[in-house]
Structure 1
Amino acid sequence: MAEYDPDRFDDVPDSLGRVGAHRAPRRRGRGWIAVAWALLASGVLVVAGLYSLSLVSDSVTFEIPGFSEPEPMPTPEPTPTMTPTAEPVVDPSEVELPSGFTITVLNATPFAGLAAEGGTELSEAGWPVGTTTNAAQDDFPDTVVFYSDPANEGLARGIAQQLRVADVELSDAFPGAPITVVLGSDYAARG
């Protein structure tokens, strides 16, 4: 152990119980106190981080057994089938289409060029086709004509009749166009 030169503080009586910090012997177990504080701080940070992550993302959940019971999965309600309420518009020249009205045609099959083929078929019949491109998925079995406004149901039914498909659906899944045709494998099989 290092030895220090004596100075005026060495003459302090022991009854005061004060010793210079640099000369005091280290107390036993002092290192474990620092480790315990570090572990406690790390634990608090990990728990706070996981809790924050569970608030941000729904895919992260923490269930503590005995404290909470998992909620039962909601039973999906069947979608009511809609009965046709509008007559199909077979000839687009019979009606006045809204300004800027266009149809989007998406190819949802692995067959290349199907969207352009469907778009050409609709254009030749007089329908204003805007965009023809591939869909994000390529595994749709059935062709569906989606319309976002109930007022366009007759137009959607006329387009479905033109393409010789039966599925027409009211949906807000395609906000880019009032009517979106998603071509499926049944359209490709027509040849």
Structure 2
Amino acid sequence: MARQKLPRFIHNAQAENVIERGKELYTTIKGQWREKYFLNNNPIVLELACGKGEYTVGLANQFKEKNFIGIDIKGDRIARGSKRAIDMKLTNVAFLRTPMIYLEEFFDENEVDEIWLIHPDPQPRDKEEKKRLTNIQYLNLYRKILKPNGDFFFKTDNSGLFEYSLGTLDEANYRILKKTTDLYNSDFLDEHFGITTHYEKLFVEKGFKINYLAAKVL
């Protein structure tokens, strides 16, 4: 396994679209993503816990007029998304390697236009609640970096996490605009442009329903 990961870590160290510890932009990019990396004034969209970056790359390919940043702590996963973006010659994509709790170190207040959270680890045990990426602490963090009326999109196969998140979003003063417990049999499926993650495909094949919501910060 280590031998498989090593080439991906080498790729990340050399790839311009990967920002990680040891690179200059890692400590200077905050508040300057448009000026220092994207070189435009387009909206910024984050995919949190992006894994292999399926949504980051897929959305970037659909919306060339927006800037997309996939964020994850797993360097071997990020490398796959980075390579895909390079192969597709997408210049509106970046990947940031960091834990989600440190988002404020990389983004100014109101710097972000949209956040996508796609199939995060549900952390089902009660003692793991603080690790759930839809707990109050994280939702308040997202609010700080999102613009007023910024968009938040959430997708999960875990019904327990979905119900939990409906409550925390309400508590954190997010306004839920759309929600479904069966995305593939809803009016909202087209909003995903046929983009699915590796794990989502497995979930659907096993008969799991996909939960989805769209919300705005108030």
> Shorter-chain TM-score: which interval?
under 0.3
Higher Cα Rg, which structure: 1
TM-score, normalised relative to structure 1: 0.24
- The structure that is strand-richer by fraction is 2
